[in-house]
Amino acid sequence: MAADHLTTEVVPALETALESHREIWVLKDGSPLRTYFAAQPNARQPNATMTPAEWIRLLRDQFYIHNCFEAGNTDILHIMDTPLQSCFPSPILYAPDLYHLCLPHVNIVTDQETRDRLKHTAVKDELYIESPAALLYHDPTAKFWIPPMVNRIMCGNANICYSWQELHDLFTKFFTTPNVHVGRIDTTMYTIHPTSGLADIFKFKTLHLEQIPLLMKHVTKYLGKTSTMITLCPKLKFTQCKVSDSVIAWLENNIAINTQHRSPHTLHIVID
């Protein structure tokens, strides 16, 4: 499971972010585009360094503001009688040519050390992995804390630290086994008795069996783990980095931060 998420989510997200910052531009001091943006103080201003894609998105915003797109053919840009006319050699532009049309205005960063520094900084600031939580939830070395009262009632022991699978098994057993705290409505729906101590903790009355992982996400606190993405997936080989490299620690930290109480927004279980 973890290997699947690593290969289908984490690695592609990182590779895409690195590739998108492969080329970096710096606007020339004498560029008419610099003059244009200086005269537009309310417009979104260019950063000191930007990728070609970022520059093109920024320019497309300006073309939209000045109503340059031809109706019915938005790849054609009419810039005559707009402030952008002084920036380009023709009054009519073809949008797919914007990369080449921008080249006279920019310097391409060629120093490898500078390129790597800018690229890594940008990726660090921008990378977000949409669904990293499964890497933790299915990691047998990851540990999760639950409140002592919840542990006493639902788990029936002195432990307060469990793996995700252990908690899932305990929570499922608790709700599917008749007891003084919960009642069964049907094969998938259960209710919390108003006399149960859980009624004061969970501000809801009814729970579907498939909502147990959602309840776990709300009630648990992630403590940490001993594995890394690479040690958890020994069949994966990375020639670019070692387990000890800082990028692995950074990715692990990124995943841990994004995982804090990340739950589906289609349901809100309210817990004191």
pLDDT in tens, 244-253: 666 666 766 6
Domain identity same for 65 and 90: yes
If asked whether residues 30 and 89 sit together in one domain, one would say yes
Q: Is the pLDDT of residue 31 over 90?
A: yes
Q: 138 and 166 share a domain? A: no
Kindly state whether residues 192 and 254 are assigned to the same domain: no
We report the CATH number of the domain holding residue 83 as 1.10.245.10
Could you tell me the residue range of the domain that residue 156 belongs to? 146-213
Average pLDDT over residues 15-28: 82
Residues 269 and 134 placed together within one structural domain of the fold: yes
Determine the Cα–Cα distance for residues 228 and 145; give it in Å rounded to an integer.
Answer: 20
**92 and 188 share one domain:** no
Query: Is the residue at 81 inside a domain?
Result: yes
Contacts by 84-93 with C-beta closer than 8 Å and gap 24+?
A: 84/36, 86/32, 86/35, 86/36, 87/31, 87/32, 87/33, 87/36
Q: Are residues 157 and 101 in the same domain?
A: no
Same domain as 236, residue 132: yes
Residue 265 banded pLDDT, cuts 50, 70, 90 = very low
Rg (CA), the chain: 27
Same domain for 96 and 45, yes or no, is: yes
Domain count, the chain: 3
Q: Is residue 93 part of a domain?
A: yes
| 73: its two tokens | 């053919």
> Looking at the domain assignment, is residue 85 inside a domain?
yes
Query: Highest-confidence range of 2-11, 22-31, 210-219, 222-231, by mean pLDDT?
Result: 22-31
